[in-house]
């Protein structure tokens, strides 16, 4: 099975370098790593080119978002004969041999279309960031299995899940072809969930291979867990996700857990110094319900009154 990796960068600083080094440790050839730069202005692309000039590099003129960026890389990989493509965030490091173990699982389980590892915090490697995820259609639509829990046996098992996080996701060629890639219009956040849910609807299994792990410096590209930009993007995309996958019960859960509880979220955030994040969530929910999309322009400084 021939594997390509796709890394999308937007002002990723120095984080790209250890990520790419770890991918080369998976015995990938440099040209099998497709590096997509979304119009970075922090010099991160130049750092990568200086250190790894043989990578396959695409320079976008604008920030196209994670989904469209991945799709550009996947298209190149498939055109060059990839049997599977590994989507990996530029703030992820992959221990030696991890990718081959994911690949072997796909080889041995023809009914599985998408597989991912358990993801540990890079700076707190004894804690789980995610061992796959499950849809709840409550706050933020879903929950990451094991999030902030001590790493251990429950998260190291191989488990069928609703989705694996897009920060480290290996999918067969046939999945990308049948689904026509990720939904790039989501820009960032929920596009991995949507991709996996659509794969399951088409009969592909989705599995978290718990015995395999990677390390993730979570949310570095958007500034942290309650960063206003991150909360805004997730909130905008929640109604869009529900338009595709919602039922009356799922919409009701969203209304109860994500909309009606917002005043309590705001109150809690005031005590934690996170009020802008809570307000960004409300603004994003309003925009998503009105049919607006996340765009690169709104994420720029001054794109809203919140940043």
Predicted pLDDT at 192: 97
pLDDT confidence band for 225 (50 / 70 / 90): low
Cα 36 from Cα 218, distance rounded (Å): 19
Q: For residue 150, what are the β-bridge partners? A: 127
- Mean model confidence pLDDT for the chain: 95
Predicted pLDDT at 223: 46
| Residue 300, number of CB atoms within 10 A of its CB | 11
Cα 26 from Cα 93, distance rounded (Å): 11
Cα 206 from Cα 114, distance rounded (Å): 5
Average pLDDT over residues 153-159: 97
Cα 135 from Cα 237, distance rounded (Å): 15
Q: Assign residue 284 a region (left: φ > 0; alpha: ψ between -120 and 50; beta: otherwise).
A: alpha
Fold of 3-216: Spore Coat Polysaccharide Biosynthesis Protein SpsA; Chain A (3.90.550)
Predicted pLDDT at 140: 85
Spell out the residues 6+ positions from residue 244 whose beta carbon is closer than 8 angstroms to its own.
194
Q: Which residue has the higher pLDDT, 139 or 54?
A: 54
Predicted pLDDT at 226: 74
Structure tokens at 92: 């992820």
pLDDT confidence band for 254 (50 / 70 / 90): very high
**Domain boundaries in the chain?**
3-216, 228-299
Number of H-type helices and E-type strands within the chain: 11, 12
Cα 233 from Cα 299, distance rounded (Å): 9
Is pLDDT at 201 greater than 80 in this prediction? Answer: yes
Is pLDDT at 219 greater than 70 in this prediction? Answer: no
- CB-count burial class (<10 Å; 0-12, 13-18, 19+) for 291: exposed
CA distances 164 to 118, 141, 289, Å, are 9, 14, 26
Is pLDDT at 224 greater than 70 in this prediction? Answer: no
Q: Which of 2, 68, 5, 71 is nearest to 35 (CA)?
A: 5
Cα 111 from Cα 103, distance rounded (Å): 13
Alpha helices by DSSP H, the chain: 16-24, 44-51, 65-79, 98-108, 173-179, 191-201, 228-245, 248-254, 262-272, 275-289, 296-299
Cα 78 from Cα 74, distance rounded (Å): 6
Share of the chain above pLDDT 90, in %: 95
């Amino acid at each position: 099975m021939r594997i390509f990796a796709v890394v999308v960068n937007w002002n990723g600083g120095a984080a790209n370098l250890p990520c790419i080094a770890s991918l080369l440790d998976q015995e990938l050839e440099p040209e099998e790593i497709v590096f997509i730069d979304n119009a970075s202005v922090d010099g991160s692309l130049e750092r990568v080119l200086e250190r790894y000039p043989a990578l396959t590099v695409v320079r976008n003129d604008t920030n196209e978002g994670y989904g469209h960026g991945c799709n550009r890389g996947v298209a190149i990989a498939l055109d060059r004969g990839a049997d599977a493509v590994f989507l990996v965030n530029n703030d992820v490091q992959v221990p030696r041999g991890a990718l081959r173990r994911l690949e072997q699982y796909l080889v041995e389980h023809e009914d599985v279309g998408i597989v991912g590892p358990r993801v540990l915090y890079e700076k707190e490697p004894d804690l789980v960031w995610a061992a796959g995820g499950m849809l709840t259609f409550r706050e933020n639509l879903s929950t990451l299995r094991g999030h902030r829990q001590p790493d251990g046996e429950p998260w190291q098992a191989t488990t069928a899940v609703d989705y694996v996080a897009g920060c480290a996701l290996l999918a067969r060629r046939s999945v990308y072809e049948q689904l026509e890639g990720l939904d790039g219009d989501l820009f960032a956040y929920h596009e991995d969930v949507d991709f996996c849910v659509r794969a399951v609807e088409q009969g592909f299994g989705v599995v978290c291979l718990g015995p395999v792990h990677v390390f993730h410096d979570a949310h570095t590209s958007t500034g942290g867990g309650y960063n206003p930009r991150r909360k805004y993007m997730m909130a905008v995309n929640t109604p869009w996700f529900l338009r595709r996958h919602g039922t009356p019960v799922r919409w009701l859960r969203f209304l109860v857990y994500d909309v009606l509880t917002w005043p309590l979220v705001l109150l809690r955030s005031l005590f934690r110094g996170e009020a802008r994040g809570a307000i960004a969530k409300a603004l994003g929910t309003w925009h998503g319900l009105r049919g607006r999309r996340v765009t690169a322009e709104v994420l720029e400084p001054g794109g809203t009154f919140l940043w």
